[in-house]
């Protein structure tokens, strides 16, 4: 029990510091690396709560795909981040107001959850008896929250398409593949027969 408590505080502190460094780091590449560190510590917290499937998904999907995609996009795009951050102070009051509203909503949700009569029973048996964590999660996702699950998939699809569009650059003078031209080629257009005389090169 003491080991779990120490591990919880270690993972929590490192995750909070990493999350703060994501927005505080000057280099965007360092921000993505701190984001990966935050994901790993969040996965550790999931393991402590018994949700090992969520921890694995967090590492495989977010660290292995999303965060690495962010890293490649940031490295490939030629963006002047110093110019972007130059006018960031003028949006600080609006950002602070939105942050306070979000904090008030989180406090309200937490207070309602703690005061709910069913909170104690739900916390004591998060996974139904005779059902593993993976089966319980799949049952909830594909029955109660199937529409939200599909919407999240569409959001990720749009993000992937946006990353591809941002990194795709049409450079002049670069030969590109044309499927219609390749399919319309005839054998006589693909090769040329030559009959060189003896002593002459082709």
Q: Average pLDDT of 184-200?
A: 76
CB 69: neighbour CB atoms within 10 A? 17
- Owning domain of residue 148: 132-168
Domain termination site, one of 57, 80, 103:
80
**Is residue 62 in some structural domain?**
yes
Domain termination site, one of 36, 60, 80:
80
Q: What is the DSSP letter of 64?
A: I
Same domain, 137 and 76: no
**Is residue 71 in some structural domain?**
yes
**Number of structural domains the chain divides into:** 2
**Is residue 66 in some structural domain?**
yes
91 CB burial (10 A radius; 0-12, 13-18, 19+): exposed
**Res. 154: pLDDT tops 90:** yes
> What is the tens place of the pLDDT at every residue in 22-44?
888 877 778 888 888 888 888 88
**Is residue 36 in some structural domain?**
yes
What value, to the nearest 5°, has the Cα angle with vertex 34 and ends 33 and 39? Answer: 95
Same domain, 62 and 2: yes
Same domain, 4 and 76: yes
**Is residue 126 in some structural domain?**
no
- Measure CA 114 to chain center: 30
- Measure CA 104 to chain center: 26
**Is residue 75 in some structural domain?**
yes
> What is the tens place of the pLDDT at every residue in 80-132?
666 666 666 777 788 788 888 888 887 887 777 666 666 556 555 556 677 77
**Is residue 106 in some structural domain?**
no
């Amino acid at each position: 029990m003491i080991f779990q408590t120490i591990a919880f505080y270690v993972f929590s502190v490192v995750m909070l510091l990493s999350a703060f460094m994501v927005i505080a780091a000057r280099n965007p590449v360092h921000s993505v690396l701190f984001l990966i560190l935050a994901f790993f510590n969040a996965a550790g917290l999931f393991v402590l709560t018994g949700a090992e499937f969520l921890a694995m998904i967090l590492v495989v999907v977010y660290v292995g795909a999303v965060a690495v995609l962010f890293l490649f996009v940031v490295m490939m795009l030629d963006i002047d981040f110093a110019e972007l951050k130059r006018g960031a102070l003028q949006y600080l009051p609006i950002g602070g107001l939105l942050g306070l509203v979000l904090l008030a909503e989180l406090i309200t949700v937490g207070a309602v959850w703690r005061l709910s009569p069913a909170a104690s029973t739900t916390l004591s048996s998060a996974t139904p008896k005779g059902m593993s964590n993976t089966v319980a999660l799949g049952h909830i996702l594909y029955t109660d929250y199937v529409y939200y699950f599909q919407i999240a998939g569409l959001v990720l699809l749009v993000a992937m398409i946006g990353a591809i569009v941002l990194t795709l650059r049409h450079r002049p003078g670069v030969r590109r593949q044309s499927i219609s031209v390749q399919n319309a080629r005839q054998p006589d257009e693909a090769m040329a027969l030559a009959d060189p005389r003896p002593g002459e090169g082709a």
